[in-house]
Amino acid sequence: MRTTHLIVIVFFAQFTSACAVQPKALRSNPDSSFTRKASVDLHEPPHGEEADFRQLKVEQRSAGDEKSDHGDNLNSVNVAGETSQKNPKPSNIDTNSGISDPWEGFNRKNHAINSVLDKYIVRPVGVAYDAVTPDPVQHSVTRFFGNLRGPSTVVNQLLQGKPLKAGQSVSRFVVNTTVGIGGLFDPASSLGLSREDADLGQTFASWGWRDSRYIVLPLLGPTTLRDATSMFGEQKLSPTSYVSDTALKTGLQFIQITNNRARLLATDEIRKQSLDDYIFVRDAWAQRRNHQLSKD
């Protein structure tokens, strides 16, 4: 418990320092064009760390200055946006991702519910957080929560029959948790200990449960039956599930969701241009998940 409190204190200390050195308003704005199809998983964005984050981090302020109503932008990535088609035709099998979607009617209803929650709650908080939080702090927050996935990664790599990768993940977790102050920094990468995530859904896939039906859950967003089945086990493998302080545990979850949503603000503009936001989210999520499952 004392260690967790120390990590939170260090985080806020770094936040204060970074704000003093590099205010958000003084940073230059990158090109507002967005050509990369990004992840749509709010709770678990791409794992490219610094490089991928900078590529995702596309601020829309230059274009946004001409629009005072930010509510027109489309919504959360996990908690999905509104579709521009009033009565879209169910597709069942998406031609780009190949994912099975026999419950599209049910999924679209949950997609709409999540859209409203994102539009009025999650996205506004993410926008405010992004406006006042310097990039270095957001990087550290991302690394911190990525480091918490270490135990789950190790267990699942062992279950997948990858002991060498599991050993590397153990070393990486130990180095970043100690020298990297709970994962706020990433000295392990400079030592050649690169990050490789593994989860229970991937383990099930490696055991033969490769194809699974797509489902959108209220609050949780896109997933599959296989991955939804793995959620309980993943929760038990997360260090935060053993935090007894309810306020601290809730605070950590709030920071994680807010930070993830801020990282995905760059997808809002391209989603706004899509003909069917439900299909866009499903396609992007499925392609990213298929990429994760295709890793050796």
Beta bridge partners of 155: none
Give the model's pLDDT for residue 284: 94
Indicate whether 145 belongs to any domain. Answer: yes
Token pair recorded at residue 11: 């985080």
Q: What is the pLDDT of residue 54?
A: 42
* Domains identified in the chain, total number: 1
Per the structure block, which two tokens stand in for 276? 């069917």
Is the alpha carbon torsion for 289, 291, 294, 296 positive or negative? Answer: negative
**Domain of 104, in residue numbers:** 100-296
d(CA 265, CA 57): 8
Q: How far apart are CA 16 and CA 27, in angstroms?
A: 16
**DSSP sequence for 210-253:** ---BEEEETTTEEEEHHHHHTHHHHHHTSGGGG---HHHHHHHH
CA distance 38 to 44: 12
The answer as to whether 38 is a domain residue is no
With CA atoms as reference, report the closest residue to 78 among 42, 116, 104: 42
109 in a structural domain: yes
pLDDT in tens, the chain (296 residues): 444 444 444 444 444 344 433 445 434 343 433 333 444 444 444 444 444 444 444 333 344 444 434 333 333 344 333 333 444 555 555 445 689 999 999 999 999 999 999 999 999 999 999 999 999 999 999 999 999 999 999 999 999 999 999 999 999 999 999 999 999 999 999 999 999 999 999 999 999 999 999 999 999 999 999 999 999 999 999 999 999 999 999 999 999 999 999 999 999 998 999 999 999 999 999 999 999 998 75
Torsion of CA 261, 264, 265, 266, to 10 degrees: 170
Residue 191 in any domain: the answer is: yes
The answer to whether residue 213 sits within a structural domain is yes
Residue 139 lies in a domain: yes
What 8-state DSSP symbol labels residue 126?
A: H
Cβ contacts of 128-133, under 8 Å, gap ≥ 24: 129/258, 129/259, 129/261, 129/262, 130/24, 130/262, 130/265, 131/24, 132/19, 132/24, 133/15, 133/24, 133/262
Our CA angle for 259, 77, 150, nearest 5°, is 50
Q: Is 261 exposed, middle or buried (0-12, 13-18, 19+ CB in 10 A)?
A: buried
Residue 89 lies in a domain: no
What is the C-alpha separation between 120 and 75, in angstroms, rounded? 9
215 occurs within a structural domain: yes
Number of residues in the chain: 296
